[in-house]
Amino acid sequence: MAEYRIDDLARAAGTTVRNVRVYQDRELLPPPRRQGRTAIYSDAHLVRLRLIINMLERGYAFAQIKEMISAWESGRSLGDVLGLEEVVGESWAEEAPRAVTATELRRMFGKQFSPGNVKRAMELGLLERRGRGFVSQSPQLLDAGAELVSLGVPLGEVLDLAEQLQQDIDHVAGHLVEMVRRHVLTRPVPTEEEVPYYSDVLQRLRPLVMSALNAAAARSAARVIPEVLGDRLIEMVAGSEEHAKRA
């Protein structure tokens, strides 16, 4: 658990000491722990500070931010489980599509860049035609796929995986959103006082889903990789790394 002096905190969040003090005075930031005269901040403060800056940039007034923060604190359980706050400081904008030429694709996928696979990728919505070339709706998936192929996994199987992955993720994300609908956005029509809260929850639903899935994916990777590959293999590889370091 990292600790920050006010200058470190401001730097880490990309703002100034002055502003940190202002947010603190306006009670948007929780009071720091004091060590004599100097204030000691935690990671929680950093997360909160990033949140505040984000909301400020989106045009929220101090008072509105304060309201939302207290709203979250009163109904904390969901936010805790899903890491609500952790998300908001990050850029969770939707991935930007990227144009890719046929030449690039051929370089990435070699001879497996075939009309059949292209058709399949287009059916899966991974690739779209644009003039002579293509545009990838998810450069990250494209790059991940290219890496798998370069490691020797057949592109056909990579595409199978992409399809399966999309279905599974749709399923889980659907569940999550449904949970929020059932437990948080309980009214079909919110009362007038609830409208701002509802609106904020809706705005954060996408980053919230992404955060939950991201966290789950990280845990899964850590757990599943040794499970599937076996501890023996992992140990052997770790051992050879030691050899490499010594050399």
Q: Which residues bind DNA (CB under 7 A)?
A: 5-8, 15-19, 21-22, 37-39, 56
Smallest distance, Å, CB 31 to DNA? 10
| Beta-ladder partners of 3 | 42
Q: Which C-beta is closer to DNA: that of 9 or that of 105? A: 9
Order of all β-strands in the sheet with 33-35:
3-4, 38-42, 33-35
Q: Which C-beta is closer to DNA: that of 4 or that of 72? A: 4
Task: Determine the Cα–Cα distance for residues 161 and 155; give it in Å rounded to an integer.
Answer: 10
Q: Which C-beta is closer to DNA: that of 56 or that of 153? A: 56
Smallest distance, Å, CB 85 to DNA? 20
Smallest distance, Å, CB 41 to DNA? 9
Q: Which C-beta is closer to DNA: that of 8 or that of 163? A: 8
Q: Which C-beta is closer to DNA: that of 24 or that of 211? A: 24
Smallest distance, Å, CB 37 to DNA? 5
Distance of CA 24 to the CA centre of its chain: 27
Task: Determine the Cα–Cα distance for residues 108 and 50; give it in Å rounded to an integer.
Answer: 37
Distance of CA 81 to the CA centre of its chain: 15
Smallest distance, Å, CB 77 to DNA? 32
CA quadruple 225, 228, 231, 232: dihedral sign: negative
Q: At CA 54, angle to CA 51 and CA 60, rounded to 5?
A: 100
Smallest distance, Å, CB 52 to DNA? 10
Task: Determine the Cα–Cα distance for residues 98 and 146; give it in Å rounded to an integer.
Answer: 15
Are the C-beta atoms of 140 and 106 separated by less than 8 Å? no
Are the C-beta atoms of 45 and 30 separated by less than 8 Å? yes
Task: Determine the Cα–Cα distance for residues 138 and 126; give it in Å rounded to an integer.
Answer: 7
Q: Which C-beta is closer to DNA: that of 21 or that of 98? A: 21
Smallest distance, Å, CB 58 to DNA? 13
Q: Which C-beta is closer to DNA: that of 31 or that of 226? A: 31
Q: What is the DSSP letter of 61?
A: -
The backbone torsions φ and ψ at residue 41, rounded to the nearest 5 degrees and listed phi first, read -105, 155
